[in-house]
Structure 1
Amino acid sequence: MKALLVLDDPRRAQAFVDYLGEAGLHCELTQDDSGNVHIWLVDETRYEEAHREVKRFLAEPLHPRYQEASWKRGDSQVHFADGPQRGLLGDVLRQTGPVNLLVLLACLAIYGLSWLGLPMFGVLSFPAQLSDLLGAQFWRGFTPALMHFSLMHLVFNLFWWWYLGGMVERRLGSGKLLTLLLVAAVLPNVLQFWESGPRFGGLSGVVYALLAYVWLSGRLNPARGIGLPDGMAVFMVVWLVLGFADMLGTPVANMAHLGGAVIGLLQAWLDNRRTLTGRER
């Protein structure tokens, strides 16, 4: 067997292998201790043909042809030829990073302490006066993003934070995720304060920023290895419209969502410009 490619996303690796299999290029997957997936070509005499497909895949890793190959196969599991087996917890941890995990744990801890009756809202909520952010309580511009007011609110936001934040951190680094987190928490929080006052919270503004950032990055520069289907962008817009139309049946931080989405789109556009001008390597 001959090594073809190493990826950090098992599901994407399996989709590529399924596509190669349809072309008669049989490959196997192995996984190392760090969670990276190695793709091996069984018939070494067809390496040049397979290598051309690798270059095509790297140019368009999110092209529907690869997912369609998996659908035709009718098996959602990732199949490794050898290597250690990992349980659900191992899979979750492998898809995250230090920033992603720290925020997950912080949100869970704050929700748990609130459920036990501790006054977390009074400690972490946005201040009553915007000028307070210029003094010793500047951190309260960020901390409302870590508070959630229901279990459903918490689970929904943390799933998307884990999935999207993990994708960004694995592919682009902890610094990129931390930047998006801070900017997409503070600025949308300020917008939401101007609209509704200080009684709000949740990670959804950051989630909207990540949705927008990952989607547009995949459209502008697929080689970065992140992206989302266009249907997710449609979902984002529809949810925004329903929120502003007050049709969701629950209070929604609409300005935080809108602000986060704009920040994500703008950051993706700026990053793509840096790539094109050679300032981002």
Structure 2
Amino acid sequence: MSAVAVLRLPLAVDLSGFVKLLQRMQVPHRVSEEAGEQVLWAPAEISEDVRSLYERFPAGDPDQQLEIPVAPTFKRPSFAEQLKHAKATGFILLLSLLVGGLTYLGDNLDTIRLLTFLDFRVVGEYIQFTPLADSLAAGQWWRLFTPMLLHFGILHLAMNGMWYWELGRRIESRQGSINLLGLTLLFSLVSNYAQFAWSGPSLFGGLSGVLYGLLGHCWIFQLLAPNPAYRLPRGVLVMMLVWLVICMSGLVSMIGFGQIANAAHVSGLLIGCFTGLLGGLYNRRKLAA
């Protein structure tokens, strides 16, 4: 929407009353000073209407005699109201908070070992890991998923929780709670196993692999079947992808932020793009039918 010069008036002319009228009417405008004149700018589409309005009300409407309809205001729903429509998102976040409290955010190894991908025991200054096959044979299938609930530090939990809330409720509002939980478990399984396959026996955890899955899902789904729920600000997508590249470069680990589960991030993003592709194509065909 391009702006054009609607009025050019001497500096001595008082435009304040007319500007207040435009503000009451919520008309986009601005006033600038150029070559000893004051210039009123407005969108080209309504320039003639603004010019006609000035001819009728050059001093504005100081007594507010004009009946100007008030544009409806939309109150942002409270967190409790949003939670009513994002029960699955809230459930995963609550589990993460509970696990964070029980594990002392990484300090309680006795509790952590119950939820890690590989069981382990501490022998002196070393950690001995139990083979995955032994844990699965013992029926501990939850280990394939539960590392997503482990967080090591309050900042780790806060950042992952914030992004899961932002991305998770978008998917839940569009595809429902069951689909969100299914995607969360799928992304957790793929990212956890990928990190294990890449780095070998090690301690890792967090929702970040799932988050990159949700990001990829929303990204590709939106490209194929546009929907307001999945429309992410371009800066968010760029920032997340740039952060992924920075982490893969090793710079984050070099400056003392610990080891980054890059394999979990990349695999989460790839599987998320794949599910977004399938979901987007399905919805596109359904709309075309």
Give TM-score, length-normalised by structure 1: 0.65
Name the CA distance, whole Å, in 2 between partners of 1:225 and 1:163. 11
Q: Which residue of 2 aligns with 1:129?
A: 131
Q: Secondary structure at the match of 2:210?
A: helix
Q: Which residue of 2 aligns with 1:111?
A: 100
Mapping 1:242-261, distance limit 5 Å = 242-248=246-252, 249=255, 250=257, 251-261=259-269
Kindly provide the CA deviation profile for residues 196-251 of structure 1, in whole angstroms up to 9, marking residues without a partner as x.
22310000000111111112222221136322123222222211111111111321
Name the CA distance, whole Å, in 2 between partners of 1:277 and 1:92. 30
Q: Secondary structure at the match of 1:228?
A: coil
Task: Give the AA of the match of 1:242.
Answer: I
CA 224–280 in structure 1, closer or farther in 2 if over 3 Å, else same: farther
CA 133–213 in structure 1, closer or farther in 2 if over 3 Å, else same: farther
> 1:166 Cα shift?
0.9
CA 113–271 in structure 1, closer or farther in 2 if over 3 Å, else same: same
Name the CA distance, whole Å, in 1 between partners of 2:135 and 2:171. 29
User: Which residue of the other structure, out of 215, 226, 230, is the alignment partner of 1:226?
Assistant: 230
- What fraction of aligned residue pairs are identical, expressed as a percent? 35
Q: CA RMSD in A?
A: 2.7
Name the CA distance, whole Å, in 2 between partners of 1:129 and 1:110. 24
> 1:146 Cα shift?
0.4
Q: Which residue of 1 aligns with 2:83?
A: 93
> 1:129 Cα shift?
2.2
Name the CA distance, whole Å, in 1 between partners of 2:87 and 2:232. 23
Name the CA distance, whole Å, in 2 between partners of 1:119 and 1:134. 19
Kindly provide the CA deviation profile for residues 33-66 of structure 1, in whole angstroms up to 9, marking residues without a partner as x.
xxxxxxxxxxxxxxxxxxxxxxxxxxxxxxxxxx
Task: Give the AA of the match of 1:252.
Answer: I
Task: Give the AA of the match of 1:278.
Answer: K
Gaps of 5+ in 1: 1-20, 24-77
Q: Which residue of 2 aligns with 1:204?
A: 208
> 1:101 Cα shift?
1.2
Task: Give the AA of the match of 2:159.
Answer: F
Q: Which residue of 1 aligns with 2:217?
A: 213
Gaps of 5+ in 2: 1-25, 29-71, 119-129
Report the structure number with the largest CA radius of gyration. Answer: 2
Structure with bigger helix share is 1
Name the CA distance, whole Å, in 1 between partners of 2:103 and 2:136. 27
Task: Give the AA of the match of 2:133.
Answer: S
C-alpha contact (below 8 Å) 1:274/1:280 kept by paired residues:
no
Task: Give the AA of the match of 2:103.
Answer: S
Kindly provide the CA deviation profile for residues 17-41 of structure 1, in whole angstroms up to 9, marking residues without a partner as x.
xxxx769xxxxxxxxxxxxxxxxxx
Alignment pair present for 1:162 and 2:156: no
CA 156–274 in structure 1, closer or farther in 2 if over 3 Å, else same: same
C-alpha contact (below 8 Å) 1:184/1:260 kept by paired residues:
yes
